A and B are shown apart, each in its own frame.
Chain A
Amino acid sequence: MTSGTEKALEGTGRFLDDRLRAAKSVNTFLRKIFPDHWSFLLGEIALYTFIILLLTGTFLTLFFQPSMSEVVYHGAYTPLRGVRMSEAYASTLNISFDVRGGLLMRQIHHWAALLFMAAIFVHMLRIFFTGAYRKPREFNWLIGIVLLTLGLLEGLFGYSLPDDLLSGTGLRITQGVLQSIPIVGTYGSYFLFGGPFPGHDIIPRLYIIHVLLIPALLLALISAHLFLMFHQKHTQMPGKGRTDRNVVGAPTYPYFMAKTGAFFFFIFAVLALLSTFAQINPIWLFGPYNPSGITAGSQPDFYMGALEGALRIMPAWEWNVFGHTFAFNVFIPALVPLGVLFTGAALWPFIERWATGDHREHHVNDRPRNAPTRTAIGMAAVTFWGVLWLEGANDVIAHQLQIPLYTLTWIARVGIFVGPAIAYWVTKRICLGLQRKDAHLLEHGVETGIIRQLPDGGYVEDTRPVDEDLRAVLEWNRVGAPELTAGPAAKDEVPARGARGPLGRLRATADRVITESIPVEGDGHGNGYGNGHGAAAAVTAGEQGATPAERDQGGPDGGDTGH
């Protein structure tokens, strides 16, 4: 660095610090350690797509007219010339055909919205499956759920704005659902739409919610989300030297800054590429909205698919009693499935903490296999969501796969209950199986592929202990983990205080289910160093007719079945 530059920087630094006293805190920030793992990038995708949404969205507001006044189109797109349409639709056509770069910005905005929601979903799953929501991060988990909900609404309102036939159909469904809600539904619909559907108010109202209200809330909550992440320091994956008392990684400056900057550019590049070559929401093909018209195969954006599927899957239940209509066929699928998922997700950290009595701080993530019940519950929820999501496209699937439509709906009606149960069971077995594999590795070491002949003629395969890095990963929370003292686990004849009464028994059962795992016999028999001291484990296995050589090595399965 030349002395001139250095002087200028020093001068600037002095100027700022004289006024802000920021040297210390900025220094702390620059030296902050960020742990590294590919899955930590998922939240960054959500953050950066949000920034891209703000940038492209601001551009679109310069040209979009959120008005339902009728105009006759005279723009560049010839097939629609002379057609009556709302100003909203006409201005969206103008953005697409008459504004340079308008189509690209529209497409980036839409692709970014899809990626935003996808990133939030996957980020949330990562947090769940690795247990990163545990104390002290429950607040950030809850903020995340609110962010997801707001994201769903923001997306729905956003793609409703162009007032084309597809988005108008989506609004019609939204209105029909709102109208079905007991007691307040009709009024809610008339107030939101300014009278009967479609009216002339809904687009300007959705517009201000879409460009101001929800983005402001998102921005505030994202700031809180990031502040908490920063303040509490990021979690890390298990590994050598990583504990609940430290953070291992590279400092913000220059490493994290450069990497995260690169990642932002990369996401922007991918979105630009998608928007160049993959057409999205070609509203000019759909025509202006008209409540008499519709196209077959109408689909919402993917994140709304589960709600759409819930509406499709529901049997036609409706009550008419005391002069009032209970449209169970509409408001139950609209409120219950996502309500159960989101409420369940919000409560889960507290349920888990209550059941296990785990009040410790956690900063090293779990490997999903090491929390089999949590992982299984997560997969059950994913399956539940997935069945609804697929059912939301049942007409397209039926058409593509030539399956009768009604058969598909019936499969989904059964699958919504059976699927999650199967997913739970299978996931749990897979997790426990993987735990067995890990335990085997720790106890018997890695097979080297070297076969030795023993003096007595038998053959053995040499094993070597797992290396330190892998050992640290495998042993995390499995070997030498501190015992929980606040849980309901009853070790004596007399149940512990937390395990008495019906609630206590429920708690004890929940604790047993949640903490179920395959024990690892740490440094006991089969110590993983491949030095023949694993014989103790092999005795029982060997007694069932194993050769002495197998007995000596503990046999391939001796570690699991033998003790």
Chain B
Amino acid sequence: MSETHGGGQIPPGDGAEDPQEMRAPRRVIGTPPPARSRTLLQAEPDTDGEVERWLPAEPSGPPQQAKHAERLVSALFVLSALASIGFIAAYVGLEVGPLASVQRSNLALGVSMSVAFGALAVGAVIWVRFLMPSVELTEERKPLASSPEVRAEFKKTFDEGAEASGFVKRKMVRRTLIAATIPLAVAPIVLLRDMGPLPGTSLRHTVWRKGMRMLVYGPNTPLRPADFAIPGQMITVVPDGYQDNLDVLAKATTIIIKFAPGQLVPNRPGQEGTIMNWTVDNIVAYSKICTHVGCPVALYEQTTHHILCPCHQSTFDATRGAKVIFGPAARPLPQLPIGVDAEGFLVAESDYHEPVGPSFWERG
């Protein structure tokens, strides 16, 4: 729309049907302004026999171009219609279910839909560009602020209303109304109380108990220390009887890692390490729930003994009591005391001795 169309057009203004506004137009639309066009035309436009036009009727380009564009636009609209019919046909004709069928259906529906919309879009753009005359019009802006008279009028209305209501004069009514709104605003908040139970101490405990078997996550089978073929393996275990309870798993999921003798660094004063009494046969158990924001720490690098959380890359040293060596987690993964039961299966010796998972205000 860069081309200016003007040349003697007389803009009627937006109050065309209102003779009063016509004489003193507040907003003048169109180029050039009326005063200039009057002088150019040397005629009184209001009394002129010719009808004033707001927009030219014919496109600016040569007529053949418009003819060509008209055909093209019509062809595109027909194409759009055909594509929409194709969409319906694809819906009726193509079943879904198996993966290949879904893909075929998605392709047919998607392509027909794209063409249906795309052809309309292209057609409409060609229409605007080649079938509509290009214009550039100017509309005047009024300042946004109201005039002082209007503002004064408003102030008068407002003040009179305030006076008539007695809101200013009758202090007791005003104050009690304000006082009434405060408990009214609090009441709905109270209503939200039953959205959930209070946390209590539930974040401090998991279901692990002395003698509870550890089941391999997935197959849900118990395992013996000897089931570790080689050192360096990490296995995710879940508490027996709770393997399908997501609320329990969100806290109690545990990883166990087997080390070669001597690899684990024992916890001594002045040295962070693994609590050796809580291990069995160089197998150590840590909470799988990251102490940062609770993702499962699922990645283990055998050569460096690093446990890595895939969410935010907190890294823990598995040989040294899972102490943090990089990343945003502030605390080691809690270690779970483990042992073996009479049948030789790995079991917990107790619950975790500290809260697992992300930090919380009451944790301390």
Contacts and interface: CB of A to CB of B under 8 A. Distances in A.
Interface in B265-293: 288-289, 292-293
A547 interface: no
Interface in A105-123: 107
Contacts of A295: 310
Contact of A97 (B97, B141, B313): B97
A255 B246 contact: no
Interface in B2-26: 14-18
Contacts of B109: 100-101, 104, 276
A235 to B, nearest CB: 11
A249 B364 CA distance: 65
A227 interface: no
B111 A33 contact: no
B328 interface: yes
A296 B299 contact: yes
A191 B135 CA distance: 59
Contacts of B118: 265-266, 269, 273
A250 B295 CA distance: 55
Contacts of A455: none
B326 A298 contact: no
B107 interface: yes
A172 B293 contact: yes
A433 interface: no
Contacts of B314: 316
Interface in B108-162: 109-111, 113-118, 120-125, 127-128, 132, 135-141, 143-144
Given A186-B361, A325-B359, A329-B330, A292 B311 contact: no
B192 A276 contact: no
Nearest to B137: A33
Nearest to A297: B310
B208 to A, nearest CB: 14
Contacts of A32: 139
Given A198-B250, A261-B124, A269-B121, A294 B310 contact: yes
B196 interface: yes
Given A276-B110, A294-B296, A330-B293, A194 B144 contact: no
B301 to A, nearest CB: 11
Interface in A307-335: 308, 311-318, 320, 323-325, 327, 329-330, 333
B144 A250 contact: no
A258 B128 contact: yes
A176 B124 contact: no
A36 interface: yes
B11 to A, nearest CB: 9
A183 to B, nearest CB: 6
Query: Which of A27, A98, A173 has most B Cβ within 10 Å?
Result: A173
B180 interface: no
Contacts of B329: 316, 329
Interface stretch (A38-46, A240-248, A482-490, A524-532): A240-248
Contact of B127 (A76, A97, A196, A258): A258
A179 interface: yes
A31 B29 contact: yes
Interface residues of A, number: 113
Interface in A353-399: 361, 363, 394-395
B217 interface: yes
Given A249-B136, A255-B128, A312-B328, A185 B360 contact: yes
Given A194-B196, A198-B247, A292-B249, A173 B293 contact: yes
Given A196-B250, A265-B120, A33 B295 contact: no
B71 interface: no
A261 B114 CA distance: 15
Contacts of B288: 292
B138 A247 contact: yes
Interface in A439-486: none
Interface centre among B29, B115, B294 (most CB of A within 10 A): B294
A327 B358 contact: yes
Given A33-B137, A195-B197, A394 B55 contact: no
Contacts of A169: 295, 311
A180 B360 contact: yes
A563 interface: no
Interface string A18-47: 000001100110011100100000000000
B238 interface: yes
B96 A97 contact: yes
A259 B125 contact: yes
A100 B107 CA distance: 12
A510 B98 CA distance: 65
A290 B236 CA distance: 13
B96 A100 contact: yes
B185 interface: no
Given A180-B360, A196-B251, A244-B141, A262 B310 contact: no
User: How large, as a class, is the contact surface on chain B?
Assistant: 35 or more
A136 interface: yes
Contacts of B311: 169, 173, 294, 298
Interface stretch (B169-177, B198-206, B225-233): B198-206
Contacts of B117: 265-266, 268-269, 272
Contact of B294 (A173, A308, A406): A173
B89 interface: no
Interface in A156-196: 169, 172-173, 175-177, 179-187, 189-196
A506 to B, nearest CB: 29
Contacts of B251: 196
B82 interface: no
B244 A84 contact: yes
Given A77-B99, A249-B136, A294 B295 contact: yes
Contact of A262 (B125, B249, B294, B359): B125
Nearest to A36: B1
Interface in A187-241: 187, 189-199, 201, 232-233, 241
B124 A262 contact: yes
Given A248-B136, A330-B359, A290 B292 contact: no
A169 B294 CA distance: 9
A391 to B, nearest CB: 10
> Which of B117, B140, B236 is packed against the most chain A CB atoms within 10 Å?
B117
B260 interface: no
A60 to B, nearest CB: 15
Contact of B114 (A172, A182, A258, A273): A273
A275 interface: yes
Contacts of B107: 276
Of listed A254, A263, A330, residue having the most chain B CB within 10 A: A330
10 A-B pairs closest in CB distance? A276-B110, A176-B293, A262-B124, A318-B330, A269-B118, A266-B121, A269-B117, A265-B121, A327-B359, A291-B250
Given A136-B144, A195-B196, 16 more contacts: A24-B15, A103-B106, A176-B292, A186-B362, A198-B247, A247-B139, A247-B140, A248-B138, A262-B125, A265-B124, A276-B114, A291-B296, A296-B299, A394-B313, A395-B313, A406-B313
Interface of B: 1, 14-18, 29, 31, 54-55, 91, 94-99, 102, 105-107, 109-111, 113-118, 120-125, 127-128, 132, 135-141, 143-144, 192-193, 195-199, 202-203, 217, 236, 238, 244, 246-247, 249-251, 253, 288-289, 292-296, 298-299, 310-314, 324, 326-331, 357-364
25 contacts: A31-B29, A31-B54, A103-B105, A104-B109, A175-B293, A177-B293, A181-B361, A184-B361, A187-B199, A190-B198, A250-B136, A251-B137, A258-B127, A259-B124, A264-B121, A266-B121, A269-B113, A276-B111, A291-B253, A293-B298, A296-B298, A298-B295, A329-B330, A330-B292, A330-B293
Interface of A: 23-24, 27-28, 31-33, 36, 70, 76-77, 84, 96-104, 107, 136, 169, 172-173, 175-177, 179-187, 189-199, 201, 232-233, 241, 244-251, 254-255, 258-259, 261-266, 268-270, 272-273, 275-277, 289-298, 308, 311-318, 320, 323-325, 327, 329-330, 333, 361, 363, 394-395, 405-406, 409
